[in-house]
Amino acid sequence: MFDLTTLNDVLVKVTGRGERPVMRWQDATGEWRSISSTELYGRVRALSDVLRGWGLGKGDRVVILSENRWEWAVTDFATLAIGGVDVPLYPTLTAEHVGYMVRDSGAKVAVVSSKEQYDKLTTAGDMPELEHVVVMDAGEFPGTESFARLIEGAQAKQQRDAAFDAMVKGARGEDLATIIYTSGTTGEPKGAMLTHGNLASNLNVSTDPFKFSDKDSCISFLPLSHVTARHLDYAMMCNEATVAYCPKFDLLPQAMKALQPTIFVAVPRVYEKIRQAVEGKSAASPVKSRILKWALATGKTHRPETLEGKIPASMGWKLANKLVFGKIREAFGGRVEVFISGGAPLGMDTAGWFADAGIRIFEGYGLTETSPVIGLNYPNAHRIGTVGKAVPNVQCRFAADGELEVKGPSIFPGYWKKEKETAEVFTPDGWFKTGDIGKIDEDGFLSITDRKKELLKTSGGKFIAPQPIENRLKANTLVAHAAMVGDKHKFACVLISPNFAALEGWAKGQGIAVGDHAALVKDAKVVKLYQEIVDKVNADLASYESMKRMYVVPDEWSVEGDELTPSMKLKRRVVEKKYEKAIAAFYADEATAKVR
């Protein structure tokens, strides 16, 4: 357990290790390079001197618009060192959203990664308080500063400086550290304000049971604009583990193979994609398909041992491990000892599949507003299908309608310049309303059912939690995403976004043309295929929960298409608007329809 009071304590820890490497990054030639603790200190000090020279100080905001790279971390630490507030933005945001957040935050400086991000600023409209733009990549960008040039004196600043260190240690727990704009599945983005104390208090208790050390390493690939990714990096640094930056998801397989991390943290969609890739590859060969099914069936008989952290001793499991499970672990680099999932519900199907493959995933839960961890499974306290027990300094209770409410030092003070919205998420006695429906079992393990706002209420008064059902649909390799609809209607229906790579592979085997997605999803055999997937899930549902009608959309939903948030959550309202005609068709005969 750490004794952090501010995020600057993380900087003190990570820059106090001499020549030991603390970060890794890949250069233009593909070679992985290291940054030592001393080098990091020099770069942070150099950039913080520049920021102070520009007149920035306590409370001033600095936007970071970049993929995951070492410059992101240096900017973060330099901003915090001078008492500033960083405002991390997703690099997938549109120019319109970037402009809104820069203006709303009143940022004086924006540090961007590339021409692509720079171009967003130039087309984002008037940003009257923005005084300086810094670009990480080399090139000519009018009216900007070069990141490399700003830290040219870093080597000369690697020696400890008493005045700088005193400034760093002068931060207080109640000081604002960051404004994180929630990506939002509905409505206008809100800037969640997190203090140094909020984030430090959560870091103090969230990872201790894992016993991470200087022998560990992880790859930072989840967007650092997401509080979970940032929390992970800070935690790894405090535990003396090495953090390697991977700026693009497409580069992750290569990075895992090259670096062989010992810790892997991802959102559920990453685990789902890996599962779908394994199943899709085996489906191409009847022999491989049978071997995979046999191996998973064998693994299922040993699931309790896997979930207890034991390696099954039976000959059948050892053979399955040699033929299948070991190869799945190789996809993660071959050395991962701790797998963690957060950011959205993992789903029992996905968690069970990996457990049957010999991989225990520690699922956690939290929100931006809670800094972020509320609950997490650990090696010594793990229950599949739950998000673990609440961390020691967070209290939980439930409102009459089942909504989880929490209280503790990691709970944020409110939304930036939004007093009304802040008041709405706190109870009169000061508990934060998470917006999630859940329960705690007799042993203290927390389960989250769904977002309160996303519950469907049929015209018959029945409530349906769509996420667990959607997760069961997504367990099929052919389904990339699913969105249930039916609020205020007589029955529920579903929109399905296919995994087109898997669907096209299946279609070719059926002699179906695959060039046109719109034509492909209308093919009678394809419609029948997806109806069978829905029927299989329906078989285990209550009648009022079952999906009476379905529509296969001709699009694979994505962040770029705006159907998903940057953390891969479904933007339900966006999807409903986009396919409103298909949804209207579901209910055209609702008044007379006879459904079971």
Give the pLDDT band (50/70/90) at residue 567: confident
Distance CA 377, CA 390 (A): 9
Specify whether the CB–CB gap between 296 and 356 falls below 8 A: yes
Q: Say how many domains are in the chain.
A: 2
Residue 378 has pLDDT above 90, yes or no: yes
Residue 185 has pLDDT above 60, yes or no: no
Residue 584 has pLDDT above 70, yes or no: yes
Query: Structural domain of residue 146, as residue ranges?
Result: 8-171+207-261
pLDDT over 70 for what percent of the chain?
99
Q: Judge whether 512 lies within some domain.
A: yes
Q: Judge whether 298 lies within some domain.
A: no
CATH of the domain at 568: 3.30.300.30
Give the model's pLDDT for residue 595.
62
| Nearest in space to 99 (alpha carbons), one of 75, 68, 144, 130 | 130
Distance CA 237, CA 225 (A): 18
Q: What is the mean pLDDT of residues 556-583?
A: 92
Q: Judge whether 79 lies within some domain.
A: yes
Give the model's pLDDT for residue 372.
97
Omega cis (within 30) before 372: yes
User: What tokens does 146 get?
Assistant: 């070069």
Q: What is the mean pLDDT of residues 360-381?
A: 98
User: What tokens does 202 get?
Assistant: 């959560």
pLDDT digits (tens, 9 = 90+) for 220-247: 999 999 999 999 999 999 999 999 999 9
Give the model's pLDDT for residue 95.
94
Q: Judge whether 548 lies within some domain.
A: yes
| Nearest in space to 433 (alpha carbons), one of 453, 419, 417, 447 | 453
Give the pLDDT band (50/70/90) at residue 592: confident
Distance CA 203, CA 3 (A): 9
Q: What is the mean pLDDT of residues 6-28?
A: 97
Q: What is the mean pLDDT of residues 496-512?
A: 94
Q: Which residue has the tokens 């992985």?
A: 32
pLDDT digits (tens, 9 = 90+) for 307-359: 999 999 999 999 999 999 999 999 999 999 999 999 888 989 999 999 999 99
Specify whether the CB–CB gap between 436 and 443 falls below 8 A: no
Q: Last residue of a domain, which of 261, 285, 306?
A: 261
What is the pairing mode between strands 389-390 and 373-376? antiparallel
Give the pLDDT band (50/70/90) at residue 280: confident
What is the pairing mode between strands 176-181 and 191-195? antiparallel
The residue count for the chain: 596
Give the model's pLDDT for residue 349.
92
Residue 573 has pLDDT above 70, yes or no: yes
Q: Judge whether 312 lies within some domain.
A: no
Across 399-445, the runs of DSSP E, i.e. the strands, are 403-407, 414-415, 432-440
What's the Rg (C-alpha) of the chain? 25
Residue 533 has pLDDT above 70, yes or no: yes
At residue 91's C-alpha, the angle toward residues 555 and 246, to 5°, is 95
| Nearest in space to 361 (alpha carbons), one of 371, 374, 345 | 345
pLDDT digits (tens, 9 = 90+) for 432-468: 999 999 999 999 999 998 889 899 999 889 989 999 9
| Nearest in space to 180 (alpha carbons), one of 266, 86, 81 | 86
Q: Last residue of a domain, which of 261, 291, 306?
A: 261
Give the model's pLDDT for residue 568.
86
Q: Judge whether 232 lies within some domain.
A: yes
Instruction: Enumerate residues 6+ apart whose C-beta is below 8 A from 369.
Output: 182, 192, 411, 412, 425, 432
CATH of the domain at 52: 3.40.50.12780
* CB environment 572-583: b (16+ within 10 A), e (fewer): bebbeebbeebb
Distance CA 130, CA 178 (A): 17
Give the model's pLDDT for residue 515.
85
Give the model's pLDDT for residue 545.
95
User: What tokens does 37 get?
Assistant: 């603790």
pLDDT digits (tens, 9 = 90+) for 105-117: 999 999 999 999 9
Q: Judge whether 422 lies within some domain.
A: no
Q: What is the mean pLDDT of residues 168-196?
A: 89
Q: What is the mean pLDDT of residues 65-81?
A: 99
Q: Judge whether 221 lies within some domain.
A: yes
User: What tokens does 93 get?
Assistant: 């945001």
Mean model confidence pLDDT for the chain: 95
Give the model's pLDDT for residue 491.
95
